[in-house]
Structure 1
Amino acid sequence: MDTSNVPVERTTLRAGPYRTYLYRARAGREPAVLFLLGSGPGVSAWANWQFALPALGQRFDCLAPDLVGFGQSEHPDPPLQGMDAWMRAWLEQLIALLDLVGIERAHVVGNSMGGAIALHLLWRHPERVRSAVLMGTIGVPFQITPGLDGTWGFYDEPTLERLTQIFRWFVYDPERVGGDLEAIARQRYESTQEPNARRSFAAMFPAPRQRHLDELVVPDDALVSIQQRVLLVHGRDDQIIPLDTSLYLLQRLPRVQLHVFGQCSHWTQIEYRDAFNRLIADFIAGEL
């Protein structure tokens, strides 16, 4: 894959009832690839996909929205209550976004909670999804890990030290992300203190948090009926979402592949950015 990057457009749209901030890289006009963010404190689509969009935008039309309740998109006030209500809002936002920009079907790349949203798209709106890449995904039954409980519980103690600890869980080898996790945490910390983001995140993930995972589960009878190609990507040493979640899906999705990165935790798309981008490009192009 060409190592040159393409510019990333930033625009604000109204996707259905929701103000939606969208990052888009599209030197390659076809096909469309929709990137879905995960659920770290202070996260945005750009924080998750800053290395993927400029690279993959060479070949594809890459769209990465801030989901409702994250980044610069709509923050309902009062906030929604219950994971089912948030999921309905995210699906409504995404379908409206595809309609707005004239995309009938897209490949979908979901990170962590974004993987669960991608699974729900495959289940509830299969006609809009060409294929899916699920990275360190949730959406299947498992016991919440201390890392995920601590990440979703950030606002119990919203300090720079706590955020730095979360990033230690996210990364296997800090040298792969520049070596200074506290500096990365300082860059992110300001966004965690933005009032709208703080209110939305706290409303999404109040304790006890196992129930939020359970509400995101896609039932087995839906999983076995999914006919799109699916690529599972996971870090073997993921301290947030265990590899077992991808192994669970491997046993149930009909047209599925699994790629595991050793010496890698939850930030596959950052720790192994070049390999991740090549993997995604080859899969979307049907070359994998």
Structure 2
Amino acid sequence: MHPEMTVKNHRIPSIWYKQTSNLSSGRTLNPSMIVMHYTTGWNGEGSRNWLMGAAGGTSNEGSSAHVVIDRDGTAWQIAPFNRVAWHAGPSRYGDLESLNNHAIGLEFVNSGPLSPDGDGQWIDPYGHRRSDDELNAAGGFIKASHPRVGGLVYAWPNYTKVQLATGYAILKALADQYPISAIVSHEEIDTRGWKTDPGPAFPMESFRQLLGDRNPAPRVKSVTASRLNIRKGPGVGYARIDPPGALDTGTIVRVLSADDVWRLVEVNDGPLSGVRGWVHGAYLG
């Protein structure tokens, strides 16, 4: 691990630092949350430079983060932890909205899902084909479907052990310095219904456990309606996640967050285990 990681003056002195151009001017961040992301890329320095915008020599003017963590465990801090970076987008968690104003963003270098090409290979977000052997050589992968990217089974590259170790050390340093009360995925706070990061290959629960009692454990509930629609967002205006479209009576779910009467849930057992979506909280008991 990295026992030397501490926060001083809103920076971790032991890791590389250069400030991104993409920050909200005149806005102070008092962080209470941490949002976990993947970069949708394979190249750590390239992802770092992109998120730095003009300061990284790129044309990006719309996104940033606080720290980028490469697959070899290297970390780059690109924003002070008291400045508002642009990583959460349209977002909500409980009563909080626009989570850029409340959260530190950590970006882990990972391509995200690769779609099957029908000939035994996988296509990454940039159109490059990767074989099972190539993905295994890069750290392995899991196969999983996800309602936000369609009904196919996708390849999700694993995060490396050294990358996660660096992530744990950074998160612990942040939790020691700031009143962090929640660690969340970009997926569960996204109000547009299409973000999937950091994805099913990421050990979210092990990161949440670092907060101890400060991070409320997801509540386990069961569906009480005969068929309960499960949707891509908190409201009847959002499309149903299909499959499955609806959850049967007795389906066990974990409640991850709330938005008024709506609950973001993850199915906890059976053939639909891992499916996430929004349901009306009145039909959970």
Question: Shorter chain as normaliser: what TM range?
Answer: 0.3 to 0.5
TM-score, length basis structure 2: 0.32
Which structure shows the higher strand fraction? 2
